[in-house]
Structure 1
Amino acid sequence: MKTPATLKLAIDGDLYLREAVVEDAPVLYELIDAGRPYLREWLPFIDYTHAVSDTEAFLKAVTAPGNASNQLFTILYQKQVAGIIDLKEIDFLNRKLEIGYWLGENYQGKGIMYRSCKTLIRYAFRILKMNRIQIKVGVGNSRSSNIPKRLGFTLEGIQRDGEYLNEHFHDLEVYSLLQHEWDDSENIQWV
């Protein structure tokens, strides 16, 4: 189930999510390239992103018609592209999915990813009718692991050698949140 490419989720006055489009490739690549050393520490795809065309190819694959297993959003903060948040491995039969995310270095420490995750969790439970949401975080990535912890996720365990990163395998913390555990007292704002 894909929603229209114009889907926007308002978070607050200076932050919203917009479903990603291929035209986002140049600005996303610029954000990746400018923060390459910072992003590379925890994101395997950085070493395979060498040109705008690599980002375009990724966006085309993820946003292709018929790709119901992913829904990718561009994070816009003060009208600037700040990063990406993704509903991935969407399984409508078993009503579960995973959230993945990254944020440009200059946008860290502003609560952007926490608020973005909170909004997408609400969207996944209310609109997509999911029952389970999972977030995987590299062991040692404390800034990223604080997000699911603050959102009430449960640490289920460690996925050993779960990701190939910087020429070696790296363990991942696996967090999950079930629909009945979620405090759903806020409303989504559609723009």
Structure 2
Amino acid sequence: MAAIDGLPPLREVIATHGLSAKKALGQNFLLDLNLTAKIARQAGDLSGMDVLEVGPGPGGLTRGLLAEGARKVLAVEKDARCLPALAEIATAYPDRLEVIEGDALQIDALAHLTPPIAICANLPYNVGTELLVRWLTPAQWPPVWDSLTLMFQKEVAERIVAQPGSKAYGRLAVLAQWRCDAQIAMHLPP
């Protein structure tokens, strides 16, 4: 992947910018660009689509989304330490990456995008469920977004796809399965 965009490997980006995942922000950085590209491909054909990414961190998935042809990526990042790394990606992909510093729970990010819209994110653990519920319960249905490709902790993902009568079945399963064809696309090692 680094050969495609000319940017350095993520470990180097993280070292250069002195980044480390902060537990308080629910961060978990993905370092394998092949894996982030695979996740981006799970979102389907992104050409001609705007993509919302919440919690891009150093930009591994961001790079995958852009390399897979997203028309525009809007990255909402709360951690100001990550902004210089994201600025380097924006330079490599002129006019295709917009970064908003702030809390995704406080920003109407979809107002910054033009349909068709996909949401694809390795969500910060501490806000992932709340964001999912918001995206599944907009004031009007169908929603402004076309698809959701989201990474959750294994236990949360299992609750989202749980079947009636199972121990994990509850509010998240009912809501997600009412609004979407919820499925687990892949499992990642810790």
TM bucket (normalised to shorter chain) is 0.3 to 0.5
TM-score, normalised to structure 1, is 0.33
Which structure carries more helix by proportion?
A: 2
TM-score, normalization by structure 2: 0.33
